[in-house]
Amino acid sequence: MAKASSVPAGKSAAKSAQSDAGFELRSLQDRLVKDRRFKASEAELLNFYEKMLLIRRFEERAGQLYGLGLIGGFCHLYIGQEAVAVGLQSALNEGKDSVITGYRDHGHMLAYGIDPRVIMAELTGRAAGISRGKGGSMHMFSTEHAFYGGHGIVGAQVSLGGGLAFAHKYRGDGGLCVAYFGDGAANQGQVYETMNMAALWSLPIIFVVENNHYAMGTSVERSSAETEFYRRGTAFRIPGMHVNGMDVLEVHQAANIAVEYVRGGNGPVLMELSTYRYRGHSMSDPAKYRTREEVQGVREKSDPIEMAKAELLAMGVDEDKLKDIEKAIRTAVTDAAEFAEKSPEPELAELYTDVLVGSY
Ligand SMILES: Cc1ncc(C[n+]2csc(CCOP(=O)(O)OP(=O)(O)O)c2C)c(N)n1
Ligand SMILES: [Mg+2]
């Protein structure tokens, strides 16, 4: 079942078909186009569905807690983009491959198997949080899981990702780094300095542009001279892939191709995942720069979770089984929220810890 590229309906899909002929570094894209979707077993698709639904319900609850004043500072929700993190990170070697992203990070952490309790505790600023309650929504970290944040400076995580990839190569540990950034961040200079060095040194890194079509209130058409982000590695001889980021099976298929290429010692890949965020940029954004109809249209036509659900039902999965999954997820999310709310805040003395690295 081939899917047309995603959102907003038709914008980049039509353009990319016309402009692709001159794009040289498309060997990986050619492989993807030949066979776009991962042939998931029932168990595999159920697993993707479950992870996406966990992210959706977790983020909805985070939105509620923010409204109740239990989450301070910024909070950027991942609702709508779930298929990207789930489809990609399920192709990684958990704990060995490193992941780094911007401030829209909760979904990536959940997709990487990190406990919802410690993420919610971090959101609410509790000592049990993954950054001991001192990082909040944008600055979560888990070296144990090889998850390196959680970064508030737009684009900075890309250069840091280059460093992580260098470390994988230097140590010879066989790992690779996935560095996520947005369409807005894709216009940052440091992104291209990193691409140059990563290609020059054949570093094991997958650059992932999560093109959700807006950077705060600015659409890609208003901000970007080249809106086909997957072509932006061409100057550095980095092959690009254009992926429907609303279809978890296409994302997973593309991820497998990219991972195989990078693990084979061939240097970096640049993936553009076309996706969409349903909520505002952050909790304080009323999102007046787009119409309700635009958001509704994407939800109706290409919601990643609804699509996976329909496919599971078509495979013959029992509806009751899906209801049980939903129930278990709601319980896990409630448990995470209760755990967070009951957890104590950090001791005052924590103000002075982790400010500087102890030894060099
Ligand atoms: C260096 C820098 N410039 C500006 C900002 C303010 N800012 C925060 S998010 C953002 C938009 C980024 O959009 P995009 O990269 O598309 O990511 P998305 O929020 O869509 O996931 C901007 C300009 C910042 N945090 N850092
Ligand atoms: Mg964006």
Q: How many domains does the chain have?
A: 1
Specify if 133 maps to a domain. yes
Residue 104 CB less than 6 A away from ligand 1: yes
Q: Give residue-wise pLDDT tens across range 275-324.
A: 999 999 999 998 999 999 999 999 999 999 999 999 999 999 999 999 99
The DSSP code for 290 is: S
Is the model's pTM score more than 0.75?
yes
Residue 212 CB less than 6 A away from ligand 1: yes
- Ligand 2 centre to CA of 223 (Å) is 11
Cα 128 from chain centroid (whole Å): 24
Average pLDDT, rounded, for the chain = 93
Cα angle, residue 216 at apex, residues 329 and 178 outer, rounded to 5°: 60
Q: What is the mean pLDDT of residues 70-79?
A: 96
What does the pLDDT read at residue 263?
98
Which residue has its alpha carbon closest to ligand 1 atom 17?
182
- Ligand 1 centre to CA of 47 (Å) is 31
What does the pLDDT read at residue 4?
46
Q: Crossing angle of helices 42-67/319-342, nearest 10°?
A: 40
Residue 266 sits in a domain of what CATH number? 3.40.50.970
Q: What is the mean pLDDT of residues 87-103?
A: 96
What does the pLDDT read at residue 222?
97
First to last CA, the chain: 54
Specify if 146 maps to a domain. yes
Q: What is the mean pLDDT of residues 163-185?
A: 98
- Determine the 3-state secondary structure of 89 from DSSP: helix
Element (H, E) at 235: none
Q: Is the pLDDT of residue 65 over 90?
A: yes
What does the pLDDT read at residue 10?
44
Q: How confident is the model at residue 23 (pLDDT cuts 50, 70, 90)?
A: low
- Closest among 206, 180, 210, 191 to 264, alpha carbons compared: 206
Residue 182 CB less than 6 A away from ligand 1: yes
Specify if 135 maps to a domain. yes
Residue 154 CB less than 6 A away from ligand 1: yes
Q: Tokens 């639904």: give the residue.
A: 53
Q: Report the range of poorest mean pLDDT among 4-8, 217-221, 290-294, 330-334.
A: 4-8
Q: Which atom of ligand 1 is nearest to the CA of 182?
A: 15
Residue 276 CB less than 6 A away from ligand 1: no
- Closest among 356, 251, 348, 355 to 307, alpha carbons compared: 251
Q: How many whole angstroms separate alpha carbon 211 and alpha carbon 239?
A: 17
- Return the percentage of the chain with pLDDT > 70, whole number: 93
Q: What is the mean pLDDT of residues 32-39?
A: 97
173 is in which domain, residue-wise? 25-339
Specify if 15 maps to a domain. no
Q: Which atom of ligand 1 is nearest to the CA of 211?
A: 16
The residue with greater pLDDT, 10 or 311, is 311
Specify if 136 maps to a domain. yes
Query: How many helices (H) does the chain have, and how many strands (E)?
Result: 13, 7
- Ligand 1 centre to CA of 206 (Å) is 20
- Closest among 85, 12, 128 to 120, alpha carbons compared: 128
What does the pLDDT read at residue 25?
85
What residues form DSSP beta bridges with 64?
Answer: none
Q: Report the range of poorest mean pLDDT among 42-46, 92-96, 103-107.
A: 92-96
- Ligand 1 centre to CA of 281 (Å) is 9
